[in-house]
Each structure stands twice: as structure tokens, then as C-alpha cells.
Amino acid sequence: MSSSESIVKPPVHEYKENIEICDNPLTTRYASKEMSFNWSPKKKFSTWRELWYALAIEEKALGLSQITDEQLEEMKKHLEISEEEIEKATEYEKKFRHDVMSHIHSFGDSCPTARSIIHLGATSCYVGDNTDLIQMRDGMKIIQTKLLRVMQLLKIFSLKHKDLPCLGFTHFQPAQLTTVGKRATLWLQDFLFDFQQLVFQLDNLPCRGVKGTTGTQASFLHLFNGDHEKVKQLDNNVCKRIGFKKSIGVSGQTYTRKVDYQILSVLSQIAQSAHKMATDIRLLMSMKEIDEPFEKNQIGSSAMAYKRNPMRCERICSLSRFVMSLVENTAQTHANQWFERTLDDSANRRLSLPQAFLGVDGILNIVANVCNGLVVWPLVIEKHVQSELPFMATENILMAAVKAGGDRQTLHEVIRVHSMEAARRMKEEGAENDLFQRLVNDEHFKAVLSEENIKEMLNPKLYIGRADRQVEEFILNEIDIIFAEYEDLIPEASRDYQLTV
């Protein structure tokens, strides 16, 4: 049965916190219920049962007469695992020290007629690895939708502020002007690249399929009396039944753990993009040019009541660093697998895979919340622009003065002297930038340019280049194409990603 047809649905009840055990902040504070359920024991173990059921159906269809319709019907009735059945499996595991065998026995207790054919020909990785891939696939689909929402919000913001001039910064020093909207397209482009990488992984993700103990399919070849074509057909049919286009070409006991690395690399890229954007916003907040959302009763500091700390963006950065660090686990795990398989991957993967998905889910929830409520302060931005613009405008002023009959070398020296003095007063005395007034009052410029001529050259929009056009062109040529292709996946504009805490 394909993922879209799964009988396992997220619970409707609220999460109840147990204050006597260590919780996982990713599930209690940051990630959505949707993503938390995707990595829950209920989803995992119910998927195991769906995989056993899929295997039995396809084995019977290919001629295994020992599998009956009665057995299949009995299995179908117990695909969604209950809390009691999970508890029973836990008791079995204490005895067997084997998680898959404990669940085979628990499933068999619920399906006594089918007990004898559950897991027929399979190895533990048939349910374990295929379930991991199903959870990663379904997790990527959740993330795909949230990435589209973030891109949608950044598109709106970029267009709204496409021609609002602001200081550009290189080396965190004032540089040539850009616009607020153009800067936002840099964030948007990063998420676009992440989206494209995510789509590639989704389109090319294989399932492990039906491969047997060491990947040779020997047990299935024995079941089908040496019929290679039936074994190949079994693998193909099960693969399609669980919602994949293909199974991995060859495997040991497990699918290559390089797949985990590739997927977590994409999640890391999303975290990198979010971290860069959030860092930019934090810096802009310190300059009071932009604010992240701040609620009416929100408290910025327990000591300094006036503060509006960038809590959301700081949280994005914090979670992003955690997600980025998890990629190293998958690299080491893949590199350290011996021959067809060693079990030193298991405990690590139980931690790193779900936490990477839960982390990125939480990050994108906060990013969407921030992007949906960003506040821009144009007058503060204009003040900062005007403090630097006279320096940036001097080349245009010089050219205009020369065209009007002035001596280029003389005027260049006049500008240099006045610029140095204006900069000195700004730094030593905290004075405003008076370079414009100095040039207006200088006799060398008075002779060739009027005050109005010079003032016209201090319009910030003269110095933003093609920034506003670049915003329009980038969105039209790259972003809107993605939105048209994935229109059905874009969440409703009214959807609001509220923070849990």
C-alpha cells in the first residue's frame, strides 16, 4: 500500500508532557505535530506491518500457495498498531534483544492465523530500512511544502520593497546601495537552490526493496524455486506498492548509508540558508532598520524591560547549527560500515535521522513566522543611507561638474579634502555628514553647479543600479516558474506558522 493510502494517521490528541523524564525539545518546543508523528513509534511500527502485509500480498500473487486470503485479511485488520501491541513488543524485546523479532511476535499474537507467514523470506532490514526511507521521503514532502511557503513569503516581501534603497555592506562596512527587496532575493535564491536539491532527492530516492539477508535475494530465490524473474517481479511489485518508483540497484544487508548522507546534506543546506538569513536580520535589527515579529505581551529581557531581542532569528541560528552538525554523523556512519553491514549504524541513525528532520521542520516554522511578520523602518534606513550617500555621490557630482566646465583635478582635490574633514567630524565629534553642504558652499563648485544640481544627485534611487529590475526578473524567470509547477503544494496564504513557545 502506498504512503498516500496509509491507514496510519496522526493523532488528534494533544501531547502530554511527562515532567519526570528528559524530553526532546525538538518535539515539545519546535517541530510540528505532523513531523513529530512522521518519526513516531506508531508511524514506524505500523509501517513495519504495512511492509509485511505488502510482502505477503505480492508473494501470494506470484504463486506462494501457503499464503491464504484469510491470512491476508487478518493482517489487514491489524495494520495500525495499538499502544498495547507496542507495549507487548517492548516486553518481547527484553527477552529476545531484537526489535524486529519482538514486533513479529507481537503482530503474530494479533494475527495467529498469519503468524507462520509474517516476514517470509525477509531480513530485519526489509522493514527497518524501507521504513526509514518511507519516513525520510514523507519528511521531505512536509519540508517541501514549508519551503514553498517560505519562498512565497520572501517573494511578497522582495516585491514590496524592491525599490527601497538601503546601504549595501561588504566586510560589514557601508558599500554601494542596494534595496531591501534585492537583499531579500539573496535569501530567496538560497532557499530556491535548496528546494531544487530537495526535489532531486525526492525524485531519485529508491526504496531498499526486497533484497534478502546480504542483498543477494537468495532466500526469495529459494522460495520461488530458482525463478529469477519472479524474484525480480517481487522486488518491483513491493517497491511500487509502498510508493516508490524503483528499488536500489544493489545492496548489502542495508541500502548504502550514503543515501542518508545525501538527504541530510540537503537538510543541512536548508539550515545554512536559514542561518544566513536570520543572521542578516539580527544585524539589521541591531541597526533598527528591520524588526522580526514582536508580540504585544512578549518580554525581551528579564532585566532590561525596553529590549526587543531577535529571539526568533537567534532560535533559527541555534537550531540550524545543530542540524548542520548532524551531517558529520551520516558521513562517519557510511564510511564505517564493514562489508555487507555492521550494526554500529543503528543507535546513531535512531538519533541523527529524525532529529535532522525535526530540526529543519522547526527551523522552517520559525522562518515562515519571521518572514510573515517582518517590519521595515524606512525612515531609519533613509537616515543611514543619507549618512553615507554624499560620499558615494561624489563621483557623479565630479563628472557633472567637469561637464559643466570645471577642472577635473582641482575639483577632485576639493572633494578629497572635504570628504576627509566630514569623515573626521563624524568620527571624532559624532557630527552628521555635512559633505553635501560643504560642496554646495565651496567656490569651486558654485562656479559650475547650483545647489539644486547637486541636490538632485543625492537621490538614493540613482544609486541602486538595476536592483529593482533584478528583483522582478528573478521572480518572474525563476521563482514563479517553480510556483506554477508546484502550485498544488503551496499552502494557503492564510496559513500561519505560530510558535509553540
Residue positions annotated with a catalytic role: 171, 301
Q: Using an 8 Å Cβ cutoff, are 135 and 92 in contact?
A: no
HSE (side-chain half, CA atoms, 13 Å) at 371: 33
Cα 371 to Cα 154, 313, 390, 498: the distances in Å are 6, 10, 32, 12
Q: Using an 8 Å Cβ cutoff, are 233 and 194 in contact?
A: no
Q: Provide the b/e sequence for 178-216 (b: ≥16 CB within 10 Å).
A: bbbbbbbbbbbbbbbebbebbbebbeebbbbbbbbbebe
- Residues ≥6 apart with Cβ < 8 Å to 26: 355, 358, 359, 362
Residue showing cell 526587543: 308
- Distance of alpha carbon 70 from alpha carbon 67, whole angstroms: 8
- Residues ≥6 apart with Cβ < 8 Å to 66: 116, 117
Decide: helix, strand or coil at residue 405.
Answer: coil
- Distance of alpha carbon 257 from alpha carbon 259, whole angstroms: 5
Beta strand 290-291 pairing with 375-376: antiparallel
Phi and psi (nearest 5°) for 79?
A: -70, -40
Q: What angle, rounded to 10 degrees, do the helices at 83-96 and 41-61 form?
A: 80
Which three cell numbers mark 184?
531579500
Beta strand 173-179 pairing with 290-291: unpaired
- Residues ≥6 apart with Cβ < 8 Å to 155: 188, 475, 479, 483
Phi and psi (nearest 5°) for 168?
A: -85, 160
Which residues lie across from 7 on neighbouring strands? Answer: none
Cα 321 to Cα 91, 186, 310, 318: the distances in Å are 38, 20, 17, 5
